[in-house]
Amino acid sequence: MNRSGALPGGYMGRILVVDLDTGVIDEEVLPGAVYDEGLYGPGLASRMLLERIPPGADPMGADNILAFTPGLLTGTGCLFAGRWTVAGKSPLTGGWGDANCGGNFSPAIKQCGYDGIFFRGASDHPVYLDVRDGKAELRDAGRFWGMDTVETETLLAGGGKGKKSVVAAIGPAGEKRSLIAGIANDGGRMAARSGLGAVMGSKNLKALVLSGNRRVPVFDREAVKRLSKSCSRWVSLKIPLPAGPVMSRVGTLFRVMPLQAAQDGLFYNSLLRKWGTVSMNRASVEMGDAPVKNWAGSNEDYPFDRSRSIDPDVFRKTEVVRYHCYSCPLGCGAVSSLRGKFTRSHRPEYETVTAFGPLCLNTDGDSIFYINELLNRAGMDTISAGATVAFAMECMEQGILTKSDLDGIDLAWGNADAVIALLYRMIRREGIGDVLADGVKKAAERIGGGAGALAMHAGGQELPMHDGRNDPGFALHYAAEPAPGRHTTGAWLYYEMFQLWRKVPGLPRPPLLYPKKSRYEEAPEKAAMAAACSKYMNVANSAGLCLFGLFLGAHRIPVFEWLNAVTGRERTATETMEIGKRIQTAKQRFNLRHGVAPRSVTVPPRALGQPPQKRGANRNRTVDLEALKKEYWRAFGWDPETGAP
Ligand code: SF4
């Protein structure tokens, strides 16, 4: 199957299939085509779920399949290769759903000897899957039902003899089938998007508990070592950085500069090492990247002198210890100390801080730490939850919801206590919380009265915290990806940082400086850039690689070379990108098979500058999303009108 005729490196050769209807657990040997096509992780899941989930299946029913997959490069000595992906039919969008996460869960799947763990059916009582010493069994989870993700993990991880197990679990939000529920591991890191925590809840599956010691086969370990060494030199390169407030002013500079500079991710690498993703929160508001006031406001509504609480130095002061995912040399995470009910928490990420800061006009930094831990423990997606709270705030401002509709909560902009009170109701599905617990699309349908115009989602999934009016690539990917409303698949910024033109012949090289207005102009190279981002991210996610590592640039992080060294294949970068295209095509086919017409997925006019804003960083900016979508599909060789492969 490779140069020596053996199983390609990186693969474990079998998957675990758990039927929750019958309790039967089987091992399946992967079909040869999987190796031939180079599929893994979400790529493997896309092929299997396309074949095995019947059209029209209820996402919350027994026919839905939930796939937990590690990365092809996980456990091989490659860096940044510790991410795992969960995939299934999304109850939020009705189409392809996936979410990925770091921590230590990806290697744990491979150490148990599997290329993936697939669940079908639904148990009639709460269970968890325990895999230990090569034996897999379903166990009763009755006593864990109702516990939060951290409590569950703590109890289940220490449950066996000897080596601690690695756990992924849902919290109360997933149990109550909130459609914005995620799946957590490593003390509250979350595979948050697509509502797959609700699917896990619908299957009465509380957790996966994994313990194993299998080694991952690697074709050429020496080559992997050599490549990893040269990559780590770039990661450890230190660029001197100013204090947080000065750094945040870079956002102001970006706003006022008439020209746009192509970004090099080496700088971002340094920011992440010093501050984590919160390095950009304050700067993003300034430059127009962070949405403000449910996407209706601008940086002028969350001015620099009122945004001190989200300055990166504020987060740094609470840092207790740095956090690295498995095989990550960078370590953008940290554990923070908190005051009050929770004493420790993963430091909030950029998305969480924006969702509960500028999006809700909240300037109370302590509340954001608290909310972050509350939602991580509840197992609820912080992006979707923040978007839903901001939506409810605007509903109240516009008189669509009254204080009495909101169970007496005074949900005025910026009222942090009211936000927390509302979140508790959403987690418990009490009163107004039950109306809002399934995200903005469902909430708007339930509320009526014009609420739909305030619901900021793409295809049912709440928009993430990057404004397409600042970078239209985000808007395009929000609408055109098979899993819509995602910020991790592409943008003009990502294309610049990926520097794929250095490895993949024929891709356009952006100029170092260019007029800002050209970002909004249609041009064939835009579609080529976006399609390249999607293909590359499919490859990277299947490999288990972290997006932040990719920001180093393809000439510094040897993605294509690692894949060849691990598997023993000799694919060119172009051939590897074709694998990415195959994965994208399978996901797009999945949507069509399940009745999701790609054309129907769009971004609300407000987030496209239709009509354009009159003030702030994004004033007079409009995105022609329909034109971008057509060209993007054409770049894939699909029907530009329908998006059908
Ligand atoms: S850069 Fe951050 S998110 Fe990515 S693997 Fe490293 S610690 Fe995890």
The per-residue pLDDT for 39 is 86
pLDDT exceeds cutoff 90 at 341: no
pLDDT exceeds cutoff 90 at 35: no
Ligand 1 midpoint to CA 438 (Å): 29
- What architecture (CATH level 2) is domain 472-635? Orthogonal Bundle (1.10)
51-66 confidence digits (pLDDT tens) = 999 999 999 999 999 9
Q: 601-635 in b/e burial notation, b at 16+ Cβ within 10 A?
A: bbbbebbbbeeebeebbbeebbbbbeebbbbbbbb
The per-residue pLDDT for 643 is 96
Pocket probe for ligand 1: among 84, 232, 328, 351, the residue whose CB has the most ligand atoms within 8 Å is 328
pLDDT exceeds cutoff 50 at 21: yes
Question: Residue 2: pLDDT band by 50, 70, 90 thresholds?
Answer: very low
Q: Counting atoms of ligand 1 from 1, which one is nearest the CA of 102? A: 8
Percent of the chain with pLDDT over 90: 92
pLDDT exceeds cutoff 50 at 3: no
Question: Residue 1: pLDDT band by 50, 70, 90 thresholds?
Answer: very low
Ligand 1 midpoint to CA 102 (Å): 7
Question: Residue 398: pLDDT band by 50, 70, 90 thresholds?
Answer: very high
User: Does domain 240-261+273-462 bear CATH number 3.30.70.360?
Assistant: no
Which of 137, 97, 99 shows the shortest CA–CA distance to 16?
Answer: 137
Question: Residue 456: pLDDT band by 50, 70, 90 thresholds?
Answer: very high
Ligand 1 midpoint to CA 546 (Å): 6
DSSP letter string, 374-425: HHHHHTB-HHHHHHHHHHHHHHHHTTSS-TTTTTT----TT-HHHHHHHHHH
Q: Where does ligand 1 bind, in terms of residues with CB under 6 Å?
A: 80, 82, 102, 324-325, 328, 330-333, 546, 548
Ligand 1 midpoint to CA 310 (Å): 21
Q: Is 210 helix (H, G, I), strand (E, B) or coil?
A: strand
Instruction: Enter the tokens of residue 448.
Output: 């009526």
Q: Counting atoms of ligand 1 from 1, which one is nearest the CA of 277? A: 2
The per-residue pLDDT for 158 is 84
Question: What average pLDDT does the segment 140-156 reach?
Answer: 97
- 97 bridge partner residues: 88
Which of 9, 40, 141, 194 shows the shortest CA–CA distance to 545?
Answer: 40
Q: Counting atoms of ligand 1 from 1, which one is nearest the CA of 80? A: 5
Residue 2 and residue 569 in contact, taking contact as beta carbons nearer than 8 Å = yes
User: Atom 8 (ligand 1): residue with closest C-alpha?
Assistant: 325
pLDDT exceeds cutoff 70 at 489: yes
Ligand 1 midpoint to CA 487 (Å): 16
User: Atom 4 (ligand 1): residue with closest C-alpha?
Assistant: 546
pLDDT exceeds cutoff 90 at 633: yes
528-576 confidence digits (pLDDT tens) = 999 999 999 999 999 999 999 999 999 999 999 999 999 999 999 999 9
The per-residue pLDDT for 160 is 52
Ligand 1 midpoint to CA 101 (Å): 9
Residue 129 and residue 59 in contact, taking contact as beta carbons nearer than 8 Å = no
Ligand 1 midpoint to CA 272 (Å): 9
CATH topology of domain 14-211: Aldehyde Ferredoxin Oxidoreductase;  A, domain 1 (3.60.9)
Question: What average pLDDT does the segment 202-210 reach?
Answer: 98
pLDDT exceeds cutoff 80 at 371: yes
Ligand 1 midpoint to CA 470 (Å): 25
Ligand 1 midpoint to CA 131 (Å): 26
Q: Counting atoms of ligand 1 from 1, which one is nearest the CA of 324? A: 7
Question: What average pLDDT does the segment 590-611 reach?
Answer: 97
Q: Counting atoms of ligand 1 from 1, which one is nearest the CA of 328? A: 6
Domain residue extents for the chain: 14-211, 240-261+273-462, 472-635
Q: Is the pTM of this model over 0.85?
A: yes
Question: What average pLDDT does the segment 474-482 reach?
Answer: 98
Q: Counting atoms of ligand 1 from 1, which one is nearest the CA of 327? A: 5
Question: What average pLDDT does the segment 383-392 reach?
Answer: 98
Which of 644, 607, 619 shows the shortest CA–CA distance to 629?
Answer: 644
Residue 156 and residue 53 in contact, taking contact as beta carbons nearer than 8 Å = no
Question: Residue 522: pLDDT band by 50, 70, 90 thresholds?
Answer: confident
User: Using CA atoms, how far apart are residues 539 and 532, in angstroms rounded to an integer?
Assistant: 11
Q: Counting atoms of ligand 1 from 1, which one is nearest the CA of 331? A: 7
103-127 confidence digits (pLDDT tens) = 999 999 999 999 999 999 999 999 9
265-283 confidence digits (pLDDT tens) = 999 999 999 999 999 999 9
Question: What average pLDDT does the segment 436-464 reach?
Answer: 98
